[in-house]
Amino acid sequence: MRNKLIAGNWKMHGSRVANEAWVRALQAEPILESVELAVLVPAPYLAQMQQLLGGSTCVWGGQDVSDQERGAFTGEVAASMLREFGCRYTVVGHSERRQRHGETDVQVAAKAQQALAQDLIPILCLGESLEQREAGKTAQVMRHQLGVLLDILGEGGMARSVLAYEPLWAIGTGRSATPAQVQEVHAWLRQQCAETSPGLAENIQILYGGSVKSSNAVELMTLPDVDGALVGGASLVAQEFLAIARAAAKASQRTE
Ligand code: PGA
């Protein structure tokens, strides 16, 4: 059975004081056995997370990684550096980076390769824009995004990664995809993975991201092909993040 993962993507939010309060609030709550918690923070806060979360059940990670191992790449962060600060995960190919920084599918795959080489788990983000959805191109866009990842990372690399379906029109808009839309795409992604390997399809975790909050978490987390969430805005409030995690725990118990 696939475990659930609830990963908070803080994006460019946080401060040393606010981060510490967030961690303390998390640590005051009972441990959720059946759900893994992760927090993906801006790179300057990784050392603080390592210090505060070390030894706890919530792991941490980065929001991006360089597609290069080392060298003259001003402003970039190498996978080995994330590793050195105890990261377990890194987001790769978030739509905000694809859009604002022009990251291509091939570059996204190269970033994932760097992460994998350092034993980090890349959270590979995929998703269509509203325009693409309305033009009936969701499957075409996703087939391309996933196809490049499958080609470059291969079954072995994909088996050590997590997928995150994040429709662009649902990110930060307060308008989540409906449970039916989410399940349809997740099942389709799993089916595409099955064409490479049934074992991969069975085991790969597919997260949903896009306006996940405590009020819609229960219905989203109980969908058969949803293995957790990548949570942006709602993850900034520790109690919201915890409520989403509890919804995921409840959903896993139901399917056990
Ligand atoms: P959101 O962001 O939860 O604020 O919509 C999700 C994401 O971008 O990962």
CATH number of the domain to which 234 belongs: 3.20.20.70
What is the span of the domain harbouring residue 109?
4-255
Query: Percent of the chain at pLDDT above 90?
Result: 93
The residues carrying an active-site annotation are: 94, 166
- Provide the 8-state DSSP code for 68: S
Task: Give, for ligand 1, the residue of 98, 169, 230, 236 to mutate: max count of ligand atoms closer than 8 Å to Cβ.
Answer: 230
Local confidence band at 254 (pLDDT 50, 70, 90 cut-offs): confident
Residue 255: predicted pLDDT? 66
State whether the beta carbon of 103 lies less than 6 angstroms from ligand 1: no
DSSP readout, 69-115? SSSS-TT---HHHHHHTT--EEEES-HHHHHHS---HHHHHHHHHHH
Local confidence band at 256 (pLDDT 50, 70, 90 cut-offs): low
State whether the beta carbon of 172 lies less than 6 angstroms from ligand 1: yes
State whether the beta carbon of 233 lies less than 6 angstroms from ligand 1: yes
State whether the beta carbon of 91 lies less than 6 angstroms from ligand 1: no
3-state secondary structure string across 210-242: CCCCHHHHHHHHCCCCCCEEEECHHHHCHHHHH
Closest-CA residue, ligand 1 atom 2, reads 232
Neighbours of 16 (CB within 10 A): 10
Residue 253: predicted pLDDT? 82
How many structural domains does the chain have?
Answer: 1
State whether the beta carbon of 209 lies less than 6 angstroms from ligand 1: yes
Compute the distance from residue 118 Cα to the ligand 1 centre, in Å: 26
